[in-house]
Structure 1
Amino acid sequence: MRKNPFLTTVAIWLGLMAVFVLLHFFYLLGHFTGANRVLVTDPLLLLLLWGLNHYLLKFKINFNLQLKFRQICQINSLPLILAFFFIIAIISQQTYTAAHFIDSLWLALAAALFEEFFFRGILLNNFLAKSANTYRNYLMAVFLSSFLFGLTHLVNLAAQSWSATLLQMANAFVLGIMLAALYLRTGKLGWPIFYHFILDFTGILLNGIVTKTPTAQSLRGSLVILLLYLLTGIFLLRKKLFSSWQR
């Protein structure tokens, strides 16, 4: 008899959130503040998740990027185009220092590795492992893992405004749908990690780690990006390609 995929997936998420809160309690006691928390927290949680998967869950997670050129064009076209524009934005801005560039690089890499391993590698796979292999359950796994991905960003409310946090949560939820679709269609976690890294690196380098309160103009731009993520995710998750998906 299969265990309830909702309960087990949410239970894993709650367990990790409890560890996250505990870590930040110790940070407060030690007066450890700033972006350096990410460089400590994310690797620690990633190591914990690796152990959980290696000794208990045993999901086979493929990290490489190797795909046939035709598959890259079919699956990753829009994400790669968006990544290209993000990279152009980095090159065109010359206001950052070498130190800030390196700090942004490490922060983005730590976040991308941990978040993709957890939300797509562990939570998405856990739901699928506990449910029947149907199109409906694949969609439910995508939306649940993406919802939890968005909800997790509520912790950033301590450092930024409600409007900025809610926009960040909505962005994470819709982005999570696209990243989950990339993972399901390629069977390789390396692709969502790569795109997640480019996105975070650009954002941290140009705007900092704290999300700014959105203006009317920035909100319109954000909504356009959200729509592109959502449409890309829906396109990649269309039912007629279900038989070609890989776990």
Structure 2
Amino acid sequence: MKKWSVSQTISILTGVTVAMMIGLIVLRRLFGQFMDKTAWELSVELIAVIAIVTMNKYWLHVPLSYRWQTHGLFWNVCWLGLLLVFINGGVFIGSYFVNTKFVPGIEAVVMSLLVGFYEESFFRGIILGQLVHNFKGRHRIVNAVLVSSVLFGLMHAGHFFDNFGQSGINTTLQIGYAICLGVYFSAVTLRTGSLFWPMVMHATFDLPSFYLEFAEHANILSGSMSGEELMISLVSDAVHYLPVLLIGLWLVRKSQLAEIHHANQAWVN
């Protein structure tokens, strides 16, 4: 792992995030010229997976764990994420039976797994690990969680510029709830010492929207909103995602630092 100052760490990782975002925008626009939407989305995510694996292997060398076994009390840490898995999995199954389209279902599963792997490996693995390694002081864990989650939200700002067809207001809302989810996924990673469960939670969270997108050939976040609809969306997101953020922060509270250090010794030392 790289040993940088705090300011260097934030600057370099922010630069890497922006570079990744720009690269994805360019690839989406380029591939969109000669591929259908499903093909270029899957292709770009596959390239993103290869890019982050290569970057970590040959440059950053952040130890990443994908074991399904976990440190600590699994149910106490993961109950909220597993609830999201069951809810979103149920939505996917319900959508499948309504649409009864097999191929888009397979495409959505593959897409969700690719996104879950690359985004969790990048933000909850490489970036969070490097931040924990280089941050100091009694608030190092919380600060690392917050910075990595803000960078995760920033990554979604790429939808302002790519050809996903996502509206600006929906992208803004997505940045907000991505930060909240990022805090919780970071907490699960730190408490379990593994990226496996955040990957499963993330992939399942994305699965219904990808299925509806591939089955209906439309982005469910493409529509504009009236003032009333925007207010309803803001209240709905606050009710749904602020508790997720607060639970994430609770999971990395001071009394849990010893367990977090034990589960992530390669990052902390």
Q: Tell me how large the CA RMSD over aligned residues is.
A: 2.3
* Equivalent-residue separation in structure 1 for 2:232 and 2:98 (angstroms): 22
Equivalent pairs, count: 244
Give the corresponding residue for 1:223.
Answer: 238
Cα distance change, pair 219–139 in 1 and its aligned pair in 2 (3 A): same
Alignment of 1:176-187 (within 5 A): 176-187=182-193
Moved more, 191-200 or 39-48: 39-48
Alignment of 1:232-247 (within 5 A): 232-245=247-260, 246-247=263-264
Give the corresponding residue for 1:84.
Answer: 86
Ranges in structure 2 where 5+ consecutive residues have no aligned partner: 265-269
Deviations 1:141-195 (A, max 9, x none): 1111111111111222351222211111111111111111111111101111010
Opposite residue 121 of structure 2, the aligned amino acid is: F
Using structure 1 for the length normalisation, give the TM-score. 0.88
Give the corresponding residue for 1:190.
Answer: 196
Alignment of 1:150-161 (within 5 A): 150-158=153-161, 159-161=165-167
Give the corresponding residue for 2:51.
Answer: 48
Shift of 1:25: 4.8
Opposite residue 210 of structure 2, the aligned amino acid is: I
Shift of 1:9: 1.5
Ranges in structure 1 where 5+ consecutive residues have no aligned partner: none
* Equivalent-residue separation in structure 1 for 2:175 and 2:79 (angstroms): 25
1:164 maps onto 2:173 in alignment: no
Opposite residue 152 of structure 1, the aligned amino acid is: M
Cα distance change, pair 62–24 in 1 and its aligned pair in 2 (3 A): same
* Equivalent-residue separation in structure 2 for 1:157 and 1:19 (angstroms): 14
Cα distance change, pair 135–210 in 1 and its aligned pair in 2 (3 A): farther
Give the corresponding residue for 1:147.
Answer: 150
Shift of 1:33: 4.8
Give the corresponding residue for 1:38.
Answer: 41
Q: Is the 8 A contact 1:2 1:131 kept in 2?
A: no
Aligned partner of 2:15 among 11, 16, 19: 11
* Equivalent-residue separation in structure 2 for 1:142 and 1:12 (angstroms): 17
Using structure 2 for the length normalisation, give the TM-score. 0.82
* Equivalent-residue separation in structure 1 for 2:239 and 2:94 (angstroms): 22
